[in-house]
Amino acid sequence: MSRKIAGFLIVLGAFMIFEWVNLGFNLADGHPTSFYVVHGVLIAVNVVLGVVLAVIGWRGLRASQAAKDRDGVRGSQV
């Protein structure tokens, strides 16, 4: 995985986590319980997906750095 894609996955994961947690705090009162159950499930699933994407990006970034170090090509992008 390239460093660019790994960075994109990390940023995307962070954005998803921020956005869905923010939505959770901004839900207004006065809706039926089913509304909160559905949105709670959506928030939970998307936060987990955001964490998974960020972890994949982080591992890709570390693997890219390890490959660069292993090949002895410091200072240039892989």
**Chain segment 22-61, per-residue pLDDT in tens:** 998 888 888 899 999 999 999 999 999 999 999 999 999 8
Give the residue numbers spanning the domain of 47. 3-70
Q: Identify whether 40 is part of a domain.
A: yes
CB distance 7 to 54 below 8 Å: no
Q: Identify whether 24 is part of a domain.
A: yes
Q: Identify whether 77 is part of a domain.
A: no
Q: Which are the contacts of 74, defined by CB distance < 8 A and separation ≥ 6? A: 68
Give the chain's count of helices (H) and strands (E). Answer: 2, 0
On the question of pLDDT at 76 being above 70, the answer is: no
On the question of pLDDT at 67 being above 90, the answer is: no
Question: In total, how many domains does the chain have?
Answer: 1
Q: Identify whether 58 is part of a domain.
A: yes
Q: Identify whether 78 is part of a domain.
A: no
d(CA 31, CA 23): 15
Position 66 confidence tier, pLDDT thresholds 50, 70, 90: confident
Position 7 confidence tier, pLDDT thresholds 50, 70, 90: very high
In 3D space, the residue among 62, 59, 49, 58 whose CA is nearest the CA of residue 15 turns out to be 49
